[in-house]
A and B are shown apart, each in its own frame.
Chain A
């Protein structure tokens, strides 16, 4: 158990467009979902934390109006990159935690975003 999926796995878009990435917990209800960004050869940087039905908590330096997070249910969170620019090109990874596994996060496979 504890499988997390992401869709799409890869997306290429033009500068100025918006891109939505979905994160789903397939076999459990996630108490919290997290969104990370990872640039090439760098570490995972936490962007925001979201709980179902409430507003996401963004990390310092992450623009909440640019990276819109919606957590509509206990199994689905979405990240929308609005007005994407080439510098937003990155590997976006979501994770989910479950009440029975305190602290442990289960990671999605990631989404490679390329903005032309």
Chain B
């Protein structure tokens, strides 16, 4: 079945630096790739998503890139702030609606 790998598992950066999280998926039929931010005990929050017909998408400090040939996609956060500290999950959709999640990255932004 579909598998999504995510790296790194933890990431510590200084405030103002950039953070990059990478994911690889196994099923070439995947066509939807969302990224979620989850704070402790809370629901996942969609922060950005990309579809397979697009190579890059940006929303203020957050951007996502997709390489369909290599089957990987990445989250880029620029000018990080302490409030960006959370666990981030990537996911891939292998058919309409069903999401497979990556293992998560704990991001810590130090002031």
Q: Which residues of A contact B (CB under 8 A)?
A: 31-32, 34, 42-46, 49, 60, 91, 93, 97, 102-105, 107-110, 112
Contact = CB atoms under 8 A, between A and B. Distances in A.
Nearest to B90: A43
A43 B32 contact: no
B97 A107 contact: no
Interface in B1-58: 1, 31-32, 34, 41-46, 49, 51
Interface of B: 1, 31-32, 34, 41-46, 49, 51, 89, 93, 96-104
Nearest to B103: A43
B43 A43 contact: no
A66 B31 CA distance: 32
Contacts of A60: 1
B34 A109 contact: no
B98 A109 contact: no
B38 to A, nearest CB: 9
A56 B53 CA distance: 31
A49 B93 CA distance: 13
The 8 closest A-B pairs by CB, nearest first: A103-B32, A107-B43, A43-B101, A97-B97, A44-B101, A109-B43, A103-B93, A43-B103
